[in-house]
Amino acid sequence: MDLRIGDVFERLIDGLKDRFDPFFHAVADGLTAAIRALEGLLLLAPSHVLIGLVALASWRLSGLGSAVLCALGLELIVGMGLWQATMETLALVLSSACVSLLLGIPLGIVASYNRWLARGLRPLLDSMQTMPAFVYLIPAVLFFRLGKVPGVVATVIFAMPPAVRLTQLGIQQVPRDVVEAALAFGSTPRQLLWNVQLPIALPTLLAGVNQTLMLSLSMVVISAMIGAGGLGEQVLKGITQLRIGLGFESGIAVVILAIVLDRLTNALGQPRSRPT
């Protein structure tokens, strides 16, 4: 038996490209403008000003130790001459994470109310999380050509499942007696969602934000293979040109960026304590 499902998938991609080419151009233009605006904003201020703001935010959210760690790590990136590449990567990560959350959180809310939708989404989300990340680059390049936009699109597919799953989980974990009490006091479905369920589910939702950011960071580095630039491009140069030092420094910069993002987003989901 010859089951060439790859050929069917290829024809499907070609058909979508032919039918919806104007739509893909419009999406590409919008994403390009958003990414460039974010890059410009991140590179507008001097590096030490931005590092100071990050350290201040980290101190307010999680304490002095975390602030010192973030500041020293970002200063190391400046010292290695990778600040611009790091900001380009951060712009890609934030763009991808924003799109993932804008799509994933509403989908998770709807799935928390509809068990049939939740069951239907489960295998799709499993596939999105377990499919080798490189596979997403192929259709993204066919639809959007080379550059940052296909990198963002592939990253959104890879990073969106935690946003959906953890939103659904957070709302379903809201105690039933709390929901019944809110309904007994006359809450409308909208008031129940915004004033009761989402606030109680907030720590779980923020865990989803954290996971989405981490997956986005891992994918945008891989996206350098299709011209997304940033730190991934420096890592790729290190590999293809056997420049061990450049590859190592770029890898360290990725780790530092991951630590900074993790510290900030994790702290948002924790109970506030007075900074020391």
Query: What tens digit of pLDDT does each residue of 213-263 get?
Result: 888 888 777 777 777 777 888 888 888 787 888 888 888 888 898 888 888
Kindly state the percentage of the chain with pLDDT values over 90.
Answer: 1
Residue 24 has pLDDT above 60, yes or no: yes
Confidence (pLDDT) at 102 = 92
Residue 49 has pLDDT above 80, yes or no: yes
- Give the lowest-confidence range in 52-66, 80-94, 226-240, 245-259: 226-240
Rounded CA Rg of the chain: 21
Read off the pLDDT of each residue in 202-219 and give the average, rounded to a whole number: 86
Average pLDDT of the residues of the chain: 83
Read off the pLDDT of each residue in 168-197 and give the average, rounded to a whole number: 84
The more confidently predicted of residues 197 and 272 is 197
Read off the pLDDT of each residue in 199-210 and give the average, rounded to a whole number: 87
Structure tokens at 186: 């006359």
Residue 60 has pLDDT above 70, yes or no: yes
Max mean pLDDT range (8-17, 99-108, 127-136):
99-108
Residue 90 has pLDDT above 80, yes or no: yes
**HEC readout, the chain:** CCCCHHHHHHHHHHHHHHHCHHHHHHHHHHHHHHHHHHHHHHHHCCHHHHHHHHHHHHHHHHCHHHHHHHHHHHHHHHHCCCHHHHHHHHHHHHHHHHHHHHHHHHHHHHHHHCHHHHHHHHHHHHHHHHCCHHHHHHHHHHHHCCCHHHHHHHHHHHHHHHHHHHHHHHHHCCCHHHHHHHHHCCCCHHHHHHHHHHHHHHHHHHHHHHHHHHHHHHHHHHHHHHCCCCHHHHHHHHHHCCCHHHHHHHHHHHHHHHHHHHHHHHHHCCCCCCCC
Question: 111-120 — which CB contacts under 8 Å span 24+ positions?
Answer: 111/164, 111/168, 112/167, 112/168, 112/171, 112/172, 118/168
Confidence (pLDDT) at 213 = 86
The pLDDT-based confidence of 3 (bands split at 50, 70, 90) is low
The pLDDT-based confidence of 158 (bands split at 50, 70, 90) is confident
Confidence (pLDDT) at 269 = 65
Residue 273 has pLDDT above 60, yes or no: no
Residue 272 has pLDDT above 70, yes or no: no
Q: Express each pLDDT in 245-255 by its tens digit.
A: 888 888 888 88
Confidence (pLDDT) at 270 = 66
